[in-house]
Amino acid sequence: MTYTAPVDEMIFCAEQVVGQSRLAATDRFAEATAEMRAAILAEAAKLCEGVLAPLNRAGDLHPARLENGVVRCTPGFADAYRQIAEGGWVGMAASPEFGGMGLPQSLAVMVNEMMASACLSLSLNPLMTQGQIEALEHHAADWIRALYIPRLVSGEWTGTMNLTEPQAGSDVGALATKAAPRGDGSYAITGQKIYISWGDHDVAENICHLVLARLPGAPAGTKGISLFLVPKLIPDGAGNPGVANAVRPIGLEHKMGLHGSPTCVMAFEGATGWLIGPEGGGMAAMFTMMNNARLGVGVEGLAVAEAASQKAAAWALERRQGRTPDGSATIAGHADVRRMLMRMRAQTAMARGVAYDCAFSLDMARAAEDGAERDRHAARGAFLTPIAKAFGTDTGIEVASLGVQVHGGMGYIEETGAAQFSRDVRVTAIYEGTNGIQAMDLVGRKLAMDGGEAARSLLAEVATTVDSARDGGLGEVAAALGEAQAAAGRATDWMLAQTDMTERHAGAADYLRMWALMLGGHYLARGALASGETERAALARFAAGRMLPEAVALSAAAMAGAADLYAIPAGRLGG
């Protein structure tokens, strides 16, 4: 696959649309100047274009395999991972106390986007480790932080997240894995976990598993769950990987896509582990990692959308087929192909804006000097997280599907690579809580945490953009964005008025999508105003005419209630 990192577009979105340059004005991120950020992104682009992208097809054709109890990865992955680790890319946002760079999460998100565009299967490995680093920084005992985090930051060791069991998927509280205290501060962990990304491999010297399990006498449900760190190889007195722990992969999932990423069934057979956080605090600790991963997975969807868009546009500019209305020599001149390419570009830009804005808010929640400002950004970031995850992954799926369509019959032929994008990205809408769960989180916990204040604050930001667009000569954009903003306000008021959560949940997916499209139009309008470029204005007008009206319709669907969903008995839904 040929991939060109869109560094200029990424910087424009971060700086001109979202305003991430404000981070350099804080004490915490004072060194993250525009010049430093540009230099880092340029180096990351070289790695992604020259090392990772050539492996994307290899990962699909030569999957990871389980041999004699050890997972062997795609040829070339180990060397590429070594270059990721040695370049310091795993620990970009980690604390300097543990060897990290201490850079903004928003910059790490941009690098992660490039890596996922270039080779999604391999990029999952450092992404999981980054989430584990954050969880250990917040919840682990000092000795664990001192021993494990520097090795995770350096990439010598990698991290995983072990939640799902055959009977306990989204219902995490149904898990059966047991943890028994040994009396020496360690615990014996016994159980089976499934769908464990990079649960075993041969690209690093040790693997650190975060495992949810239940202590003796713990209450049922999520309140009885604790979190444990279980290494593949137990460190010796010098901190080096020592004896093998009683944890092993017993199978690899045969997946629709992401063949280069080993997804393991893991057996814990009295494995030695250590408690992370308090007893019964497993879900709170794991959610630190999961929230990091939710934004990360949304970025994966965005990344595949970018890569699929590049491939489709290149194909459209070389494929000759029929006469075109504008006399172009290739299919890029056909109106319907142009419609698809415009939609791909606009929706990718929308998803990028949501993800970058979310990351910026989470950074400001840590870096702002004023406590009230930190709280405001924390609430803003929390509200944007499920939108970034769900819309980013939906965008990856939809744009990859359009990419196949642009290729025509050749899109269905594996050699072109267009189909791989669709297969690889499909699971992202399921990862880290399905997109339906993200939507229910948005209308439930995220609206409830502040009575809708974060939502109303964002609506006010969009209203300001409406005024600016009207004054800036983008009247049709202002009109469409204003209608979407008003519709979102009505839907938000309706959601907050519902005391029956089933009523909210029935329209949750529509509500989230409405927000994403409205925010996307807001970002495109800001980009057009900031640049003054005719192309950006054209993209904003395209979205205003063809995408923002969807937000108004989705507002009505969000307020439809639950009655129609339950009008047919469940047993009759199959026809």
Amino acid identity at 175: L
Torsional class of 208: left (φ above 0), alpha (ψ -120 to 50), beta (otherwise): beta
Whether 331 and 316 have beta carbons less than 8 Å apart is answered as yes
Q: Are 179 and 187 in contact (CB under 8 A)?
A: yes
DSSP structural state of residue 532: -
| Residue linked to tokens 């424009």 | 12
Is-contact 54 60, C-beta < 8 A? no
Q: Would you call 218 exposed, middle or buried from its count of C-beta atoms within 10 A (0-12, 13-18, 19+)?
A: middle
Q: Strand 157-162 relative to strand 206-214: parallel, antiparallel, unpaired?
A: parallel
Give the angle 194-199-200 at the CA atoms, nearest 5°. 130
Residue keyed to tokens 């509200």? 383
What's the CA dihedral at 513, 514, 517, 518 to 10 degrees?
-150
Contact 85, 204 (CB under 8 A): yes
* Chain position carrying tokens 């180096």: 43
Distance CA 303, CA 361 (A): 20
The rounded Cα 446 to chain-centroid distance in angstroms is 18
Which tokens sit at 487? 């519709």
Helix (H, G, I), strand (E, B) or coil at 431: coil
Is the Cβ–Cβ distance between 285 and 277 less than 8 Å?
Answer: yes
Surface-to-core class of residue 220, CB atoms within 10 Å of its CB (0-12 exposed, 13-18 middle, 19+ buried): exposed
Cα separation, 542 vs 524, in Å, equals 10
Is residue 177 helix, strand or coil? coil
- Which residues have a Cβ under 8 Å from the Cβ of 321 and sit 6 or more positions away? 330, 331, 408
Alpha carbons 463 and 486: distance in angstroms, whole number: 9
3-state helix, strand, coil in the chain (%, to 5): 60, 15, 25
CA–CA dist 473, 341 (Å, integer): 25
Identify whether 535 is a catalytic site residue. no
> Rounded to the nearest 10 degrees, what angle do helices 120-139 and 418-425 cross at?
30
Which of 113, 134, 306, 432 is catalytic? The answer is 432
CA separation for the pair 133, 539 (Å, rounded): 39
Rounded Cα–Cα distance for residues 51 and 83 (Å): 9
Q: How long is the chain?
A: 575
Task: Say if CB 514 and CB 491 are below 8 A apart.
Answer: yes
Q: What is the C-alpha separation between 509 and 506, in angstroms, rounded?
A: 8
The per-type count for the chain, helices as H runs and strands as E runs, is 19, 11
Residues forming the active site: 432
